[in-house]
Amino acid sequence: MSKFAKILIGSSASIIIITLAVFFFLKSLVTKSYPVTNGTLSAAGLHNSVDIFRDEYGVPHVSAQDLHDVMFAAGYVHAQDRLWQMDFGRRAGLGRLSEVLGDTTVKIDILFRTLGFSRLAEKLFSQLQPASKQVLIDYAEGVNMFIAENKGRYPIEFDMLNYEPELWKPEHSILLSRLMAWELNLAWWTDLTYGEIASRVSPEKLQEIIPVFADSLGVTVPTSLMRKSLSNISTFLDAGKAYRDVFGLGSLEAGSNGWVVDSSRSLSGKPLLANDPHLAMPAPSRWYELHLSAPGLNVAGVSLPGVPVIVIGHNEQLAWGLTNAMLDDADFYIERLDSTRQRSYVFQKSSLPIEEREEKILVKDADSVVVIARATHHGPIINDVHPLFQHQLDTTSLRYPMSIQWTGFQMSDEIYGFHLMNSATTLKEFEAGVKEITVPGQSIIYADTSGNIAYWTSGRVPLRGKQLAMLPLAGWTGKAEWMGFVPFDELPKQLNPRDGIIACANQKIVDTRYPFYLSTLWEPPSRIQRIREMLYSTEKFTTDDFKQFQQDVTSPYARTLVHDLLSAFDDTANSTALTSEALTYLRNWDYRFTQSDIATSIFNAFTVRLFYNIFEDEMGNDTFNDFVFFGAIPYRVTSQLLAADSSSWFDNVNTDYIEAKQEILRQSVFDALAMLQQKFGNETKIWRWGELHTVTFKHPFGSRKPLDKIFNIGPFPLAGGGTTVMKTEYKFRFPFSVSVGPSMRQVIDLADPLEASTVITSGQSGQPLHDHYDDQTPLWLNGGYHNVTIDWKRIRNAGWDHLILKPQ
C-alpha cells in the first residue's frame, strides 16, 4: 500500500470518527430532554398517585383523584413537551425577549412593556375567584416540578441561547391567555390603518371602502330567534408585525369554521359538531391535545401550552367549538396635551396627569434600554413604542399622543369560565361558563347528548355612541367614551333552531335590527355561503361528511369575481394568445382551489394584482401593506367597489387619464400573467397552484439556515385559499406561502361522546427530531384525523406508555 493510500485511509477514518462523534453529540443534546413516559416518578406536593397514559400520538390521558392533582399533572405534561414554547411566549408577554435574543427584539419588548401585560396579569390574578387562583397555583407546581428535576436536560433551544427557564408563576398562565387574545384583536390593525387612509383621501372616498355586510347574505342568528394622530403610530404596527414574524404568526387572520346539526339531521340520531379554528400555524403547534380526568371532570380537547384548561373539546355529555366573533373590542383615542401643564392631557374641561412608569429592558450583549411607558384613562399611549417620540410629550407639540382602550385590559376570569365549561353536564351549566369568557370575543357552538344544539356570542361588547368605531377618536371631548358593555343576556344566542342547523364562519352575527353595534370586521361571506350549500344539500349527515366538508376548496368568492373579470374582455378587446389561453382556463373553471389546478393560480395572482391596482396609488405602499395585512377587509371592500360598477378608486391617480373598472380588471389580468410567466415561464400547463401555494410550519429558530432544516416543518404544497372552507390564507405582499389555516380540526358525534376525531398541524412534542414533533402533519395535509378517547376502560387496556406520579 502506498504512503498516499495510507494517508487517505487514515484521513477518511478520522473524518468518519469526527462526523460520528459530532452526530452523537448533537443527538444527545436534542434527545436528553425527551420526556419520560413510562415508569414511576416521585412528585412532592401530590395528594395521591396520578396515572398518565400516552396514546400513539403522544396525547396524555391524565387520571387523578382530585382537582389539585389533575392540574398539577397538566402542568407537568405541558412542561414535558412544550417547556421552551411556554417560556418563549412568557418572555414575549413580559417584554423580556431581548435578555436572550439581543437587540433584534428590543422593539417587541418595548411594545409589551408599553402595553403593560406583566402588570395586567398580576392585577388579573389578584382579582380571580379563589377556585381559579388555586387551579393556576396547582398547575404552576406541576410545571415547576419538571423544571426543578430536569436541570441540565432542558430542550435544545435553552442550550442554543445559553439560559435556563425560571420557575413558573400562576400569573404567567394568565399572561399567555391574554397574549393570545391580543393576537386576535382585529381593531388594533384596522383602526390605525383606516385612520391613515382618512388622512390621505376625501371623506366620500373613505366611505366607499368602509366594509359592509348585506343582511341578504345571511347572519349567524336571525333576529326572530334573538334574546334581547396617525403619523406617529407606524412603529407601533411595525412592532406588532415583528412580534408576529418572530413567532411565525404571519399576517392577521382570525377566521374559523364551526357548525353543528341536531338529531333530526344526523344518521346517528344524535347531534354532530365540527370545528376548525383558523390561526397562524407555527412549529410547534399552537395547540396541545390533552385529556384530564378527576371526580366531576372527564374532558379532552386542545389546550394552550401554559394554560390549564381545555379550550375546544368534549366531555361525556357535551361538545363545543369556537370561532372568532370578530367583535370590535378596541378603540384608539387621539389625546390633546395640556399646553399649560407638563405631563398632562385634556379631558373635557379638566387637566389630568399622564400616568408614567419607567421600564428597564435588559439586552443580551448590549446596553440596557430604559423606556418610559405612559397611559391616560383610556389606556396605554402607544406612541411611546417609538423612543424618538417620547420627548414630544414634554412639549406643546401638535403631534398628539395616541392611546388605546381594549376590553382585554378589563378584569375577567376566563379560567373559571373554561373550568365551568369543561366540567358542565347540562346546557345551563355550560352557559354559566360561557358568560365568563369576555376576551377574545368568541362565537361558541354547542351540542349535547340530550339532543340540544346552541350558539352563544361571548365577550365584552362596548356600548358606544354614534361615532365611527373604525377610525381613531377625539379623546378630549368625552363624546366617544365607552358607556359600559352589552349585558350577556342581550348578546346574540340561539337554541335548537327549527331547521336543525347552526353554522359560523365569521360572518355578520345579526342583522340591522339588532340594537347594538358589534363590528364591521366580518370575514367575506364566501365560506359561510359554501358551508350552507353543503349543509342544505341533503337531509342527514355523518362524521365522514363533516370531515369532507372541512376539506372543501370551492370558492363562491372566486365565482363572483371571475364573472367580473370575464366581463372586462369582450369580443373586441385586444388580447394576446397567452391572455386568451388564461381566459379559457377561467371560463372552464369549477372554482375549486386544488393543488393541480391552473385556473386557481391565475385567479389568485389576478386577485393580488387587483388589490394593488385599486388601492396602492392612493394609499401609498406602506399604508397599502397595512390595509391588506388583515385579508378580510380588501376581499370585502373590493367586492363592494366592483358591485358599485363605478368608483374613483378604479382610477390610477399617477396617470394622466381616468381609468375605469374594466381597465383595472384587464390590467390586473395582464399583471398576473406577467407574474406567473416570471415564476414558471410561458408554459401554462405547469402553472399549478400547489407549486405556488405551500405551507411551512415555522419555528422561531427556522428563519436562519441551516436551522430551518431542523426546526421548520415543510414546505408542502397545499390546496384551498383565503375564501374557501379549507381556509389557507397567504400574505398579499408575498404570494403565496400560507400564513394562516386550520390550526386544528375536530369532528364529534354525540351518539358516542367518549370519542372524537381530531388533528393538529404538527405534533404533541415541541422538540425537533422527536417522533411526535411532526407525526400529525401527514394527517393534517391529507385530511386525516386520529381518534381521542375519554373511555378509561379502553385507555387502561390499550397497552400505551404509562407514567405514574407518586406523592413523596
The single-letter code of the amino acid at 79 is A
Q: Tell me, what's the pLDDT at 552?
A: 98
Q: How confident is the model at residue 396 (pLDDT cuts 50, 70, 90)?
A: very low
* Overall average pLDDT of the 396-403 stretch: 65
CA distance 677 to 369: 48
Q: Please give the full DSSP string across 603-625, using - where no structure is assigned.
A: HHHHHHHHHHHHHHHHH-HHHHH
Q: Tell me, what's the pLDDT at 387?
A: 35
Total Cβ atoms within 10 A of residue 589: 17
Among all chains, which residue has been given the C-alpha cell 381593531? 187
Whether pLDDT at 7 is above 80: no
CA distance 385 to 162: 28
What is the β-pairing status of strands 369-375 and 355-361? antiparallel
Residues 6+ apart with CB under 8 A from 736: 604, 692, 693, 694, 730
pTM over cut 0.85: yes
Of residues 167, 455, 448, 154, the one with CA closest to residue 318: 448
Q: Tell me, what's the pLDDT at 192?
A: 85
Q: What is the pLDDT of residues 469-484, one digit of tens each?
A: 888 999 999 999 999 9
CA distance 165 to 158: 8
Q: What is the pLDDT of residues 516-534, one digit of tens each?
A: 999 999 999 999 999 999 9
Give the helix ranges, DSSP H, for 426-465: 427-434
Whether pLDDT at 392 is above 50: no
Higher-scoring residue by pLDDT: 698, 15: 698
Q: What is the pLDDT of residues 705-731, one digit of tens each?
A: 999 999 999 999 999 999 999 999 998
Of residues 183, 189, 179, the one with CA closest to residue 88: 179
**Main-chain dihedrals φ then ψ at residue 555, nearest 5 degrees:** -115, 105
Helix then strand count (H, E) for the chain reads: 25, 29
* Angle ∠(477,483,487) on CA atoms, nearest 5: 165
Cross-strand bridge partners of residue 474:
334
CA distance 749 to 531: 18
Whether pLDDT at 398 is above 50: no
**All 3 cell numbers of residue 81?**
413537551
Q: At what angle do helices 599-619 and 661-680 cross, to 10 degrees?
A: 120
**All 3 cell numbers of residue 794?**
379502553
Higher-scoring residue by pLDDT: 192, 584: 584
Indicate the average pLDDT of the chain.
91
DSSP state of 109: H
Q: How confident is the model at residue 22 (pLDDT cuts 50, 70, 90)?
A: very low
**All 3 cell numbers of residue 124?**
388579573
Whether pLDDT at 222 is above 90: no
Angstrom CA distances, 245 to 108, 242, 280, 413, stand at 11, 5, 11, 30
HEC per residue, 48-65: CCEEEEECCCCCEEEECC
Q: Tell me, what's the pLDDT at 467?
A: 83
Q: Which helix (H) or strand (E) holds 298?
A: strand 297-303
Of the listed ranges 4-18, 315-329, 430-444, 706-720, the least confidently predicted one is 4-18
Q: At what angle do helices 67-94 and 106-115 cross, to 10 degrees?
A: 120
Q: Tell me, what's the pLDDT at 667?
A: 96
**All 3 cell numbers of residue 484?**
359600559
**Cβ-contact 505, 323 below 8 angstroms:** yes
Q: Which helix (H) or strand (E) holds 748?
A: strand 744-749
Q: Tell me, what's the pLDDT at 230?
A: 42
Whether pLDDT at 617 is above 50: yes
Q: Tell me, what's the pLDDT at 217?
A: 53
CA distance 557 to 565: 12
CA distance 383 to 393: 10
Total Cβ atoms within 10 A of residue 119: 14
Q: Tell me, what's the pLDDT at 241?
A: 55
Q: Tell me, what's the pLDDT at 794?
A: 98
CA distance 77 to 61: 10
Return the sign of the alpha-carbon dihedral for residues 562, 563, 565, 566: positive
Q: How confident is the model at residue 255 (pLDDT cuts 50, 70, 90)?
A: confident
Q: How confident is the model at residue 570 (pLDDT cuts 50, 70, 90)?
A: confident
**Cβ-contact 359, 371 below 8 angstroms:** yes
Distance between alpha carbon 604 and the CA centroid of its chain, in Å? 23
* Overall average pLDDT of the 121-125 stretch: 98
Q: How confident is the model at residue 400 (pLDDT cuts 50, 70, 90)?
A: confident
Higher-scoring residue by pLDDT: 84, 468: 84
Total Cβ atoms within 10 A of residue 149: 14
Q: What is the pLDDT of residues 148-202, one digit of tens each?
A: 999 999 999 999 999 999 999 999 999 999 999 999 888 877 888 898 899 899 9
* Angle ∠(282,283,287) on CA atoms, nearest 5: 80
DSSP state of 721: B
Q: Tell me, what's the pLDDT at 231?
A: 43
Cross-strand bridge partners of residue 322:
444
CA distance 524 to 213: 8
Whether pLDDT at 762 is above 90: yes
**All 3 cell numbers of residue 718?**
397545499
Cross-strand bridge partners of residue 755:
789
Q: How confident is the model at residue 389 (pLDDT cuts 50, 70, 90)?
A: very low
pLDDT above 90 coverage of the chain, percent: 82
Q: Tell me, what's the pLDDT at 314?
A: 98
